[in-house]
Amino acid sequence: MITIISGTNRVGSRTRIIAEHYRNLLKARGEAHQFITLEDLPLDFAFTYFGSQQSDDYKTWISSTIGGADKFVFVAPEYNGSYPGILKMFIDSIHPSLLRGKKSALVGVADGRGGNLRGLDQLSGAFHYLGIMVLPKHVIISGVGKLIQDNQLTDENVLGALEVQCAEFIKM
Ligand SMILES: Cc1cc2nc3c(=O)[nH]c(=O)nc-3n(C[C@H](O)[C@H](O)[C@H](O)COP(=O)(O)O)c2cc1C
């Protein structure tokens, strides 16, 4: 089971469009998958995200979306030269035992030129610490504002890079 995580709670994010495209790639290949977006986090998340403070609903959600997956696709936007704080909080809310030994593929999304490569390196560092294997082939999406039309990703190069990563990740 692969869980795709759209790594921001910003309403109207381009990250979500890319993450939904990834969902379609997995669907087209018949891969079992789930999709979550950090927009789904509870409104009081910032004050309830540590283990003992979590609601039963939150624990159940994490248990099925994270505990029930053996692979994760993280789609992470670049915010101030890194991945979003809400994504770090989300990771911090998960018991490490639900992550250890699992596999991940990373996609960076930025309006600027960096494609969140820096953020993906930082995310990789945390994942290595947690014992999550990281597919070496990141997809870096720079200048994303110009690559999306009518809420669809249209750039052939990026579409191709996502296809290649998805195929490799399924085999990983
Ligand atoms: C708080 C914040 C900080 C941002 N910082 C950067 C940045 O450091 N570099 C960059 O290229 N784009 C930056 N952006 C623009 C995002 O990369 C852009 O909004 C892109 O669409 C991905 O974010 P989104 O998924 O929220 O749309 C920032 C956006 C926000 C909301």
Q: Residues enclosing ligand 1, CB less than 6 A?
A: 8, 10, 13-15, 77-81, 109-112, 114, 144
pTM higher than 0.75 for the full model? yes
- The residue written with tokens 């996502």 in the block is 162
Tokens of 151: 């809420």
Query: Residue-wise pLDDT tens for the chain (172 aa)?
Result: 999 999 999 999 999 999 999 999 999 999 999 999 999 999 999 999 988 899 999 999 999 999 999 999 999 999 999 999 999 999 999 999 999 999 999 999 999 999 999 999 999 999 999 999 999 999 999 999 999 999 999 999 999 999 999 999 999 9
Percent of the chain that is helix, strand, coil (3-state, to 5): 45, 20, 35
Domains in the chain, CATH or no CATH each = 2-171 (3.40.50.360)
> Phi and psi (nearest 5°) for 145?
-60, -30
Atom of ligand 1 nearest to the CA of 81: 8
Are residues 114 and 80 in contact, defined by beta-carbon separation less than 8 angstroms?
Answer: no
**Which residue's alpha carbon is at the smallest distance from atom 1 of ligand 1?**
79
Which of 41, 42, 36 shows the shortest CA–CA distance to 15?
36
Are residues 158 and 138 in contact, defined by beta-carbon separation less than 8 angstroms?
Answer: no
